[in-house]
Amino acid sequence: MIYAVKKVTFIADYFVICTADSQTQLNAIAEEIEKQLGKEGFHPPGIEGEKVSHWILMDYGDVIIHLFRKDARDFYNLDGLWGDSPKIDLEERVLHIKKAMLK
């Protein structure tokens, strides 16, 4: 889930919240995000909770990525805290772009 939080907090414009099924998957997601964004020239000033945590936080300045194991996501309930913020539906946007390209 992606929340546009710019109007409700000064710490970031967007929060990305993701759930992984295992610690291995959680670490793989974090590594792939860091790799792909690094290719685009984005490097996080900070990463917290790597390797042995149920919550990895990747701080990219205006975008903060929260990677959780399900139990940690339920416990910390960031969706409840930020859930009133506008949500960005990437699937809908990708579908819209694909339709526009087919015209």
Residue 76: band (very low, low, confident or very high) from pLDDT cuts 50, 70, 90 = very high
pTM comes to 0.84
Q: How confident is the model over 13-22, as a mean pLDDT?
A: 94
DSSP string, 52-92: T-SEEEEE-SSEEEEEEEHHHHHHH-HHHHHTTSPEE-HHH
The CATH code belonging to domain 2-102 is 3.30.460.10
Share of the chain above pLDDT 70, in %: 98
Q: What is the pLDDT of residue 29?
A: 94
Q: How confident is the model over 38-62, as a mean pLDDT?
A: 89
Query: Could you tell me the residue ranges of all domains in the chain?
Result: 2-102
Residue 53 pLDDT more than 90?
Answer: no
